[in-house]
Amino acid sequence: MSVKVVIIGGGSSYTPEIIEGFIQRYDSFPVSNITLVDIEEGNDKLETVGALAQRMIAKASVPIKLEWTLDRREALIGADFVTAQIRVGGLSAREKDERIPLSHGVIGQETNGPGGIFKAFRTIPVLMDICEDIHDICPSAWLINFTNPAGIVTEALLKNSKHDKVIGVCNIPFNMKNSVAEMMNCYPNEVQIEFLGMNHFVFGKRVFIKGVDKTQEVLEKLMKKEIDFSPANIVSLGWSAEFIQSLQMLPNPYHQYYFQTDEVLEKDLKAFRENGTRAEVVRKVEKELFIQYQDEALNEKPKELEKRGGAYYSDAACSLMVSIYNNSLDIQTVNTFNKGAIPDLPVDSVIEVNAVITKEGPMPLAVGSIPLSVKGMIQQMKALEELVIRAALTGDYFEAYQAMVMNPLVPNEKTAKILLDELLEAHKQFLPQFN
Taking the complex as a whole, the smallest distance from the CB of residue 142 to a copy of itself amounts, in Å, to: 13
| Closest separation in Å from C-beta 415 to a copy of itself | 8
Of residues 36 and 420, the one with the C-beta less far from a copy of itself: 420
The residues, any chain, with a CB within 8 Å of residue 122's CB and separated by 6 or more, are: 88, 89, 93, 427, 430, 431
What is the rounded distance in angstroms from the CA atom of residue 252 to the CA atom of residue 175?
10
Q: Which residue's CB is nearer to a copy of itself, number 135 or number 375?
A: 375
| Minimum separation from the CB atom of position 434 to a copy of itself (A) | 14
In the complex with a copy of itself, the residue whose CB is nearer, 309 or 371, is 371
Catalytic residue among 14, 254, 258, 401: 254
- How far apart are alpha carbons 255 and 42 in whole angstroms? 33
Q: CA nearest 62: which of 70, 71, 53?
A: 53
Cβ proximity to a copy of itself: between 48 and 415 the closer is 415
Question: What SS3 state is found at 257?
Answer: helix
Residue 254 annotated as catalytic: yes
| Dihedral over Cα of 65, 66, 69, 72: its sign | positive
Which residue, among 77, 9, 354, 39, has the nearest Cα to 196 in the 3D structure?
354
With contact defined as beta carbons under 8 Å apart, do 143 and 132 qualify?
Answer: no
Q: CA 393, CA 125: separation in Å to the nearest integer?
A: 7
Distance CA 307, CA 323 (A): 26
Task: Specify the amino acid at residue 100.
Answer: I
Task: Please check whether residue 91 is in contact with residue 54, taking contact to mean a CB–CB distance below 8 angstroms.
Answer: no
Cβ 27 to a copy of itself shortest distance, Å? 19
CB of 207 to a copy of itself, least distance (A): 11
C-alpha to C-alpha distance for 41 and 33, rounded to whole angstroms: 24
**Whose Cβ is closer to a copy of itself: residue 13's or residue 333's?**
333
Active-site amino acid positions? 254
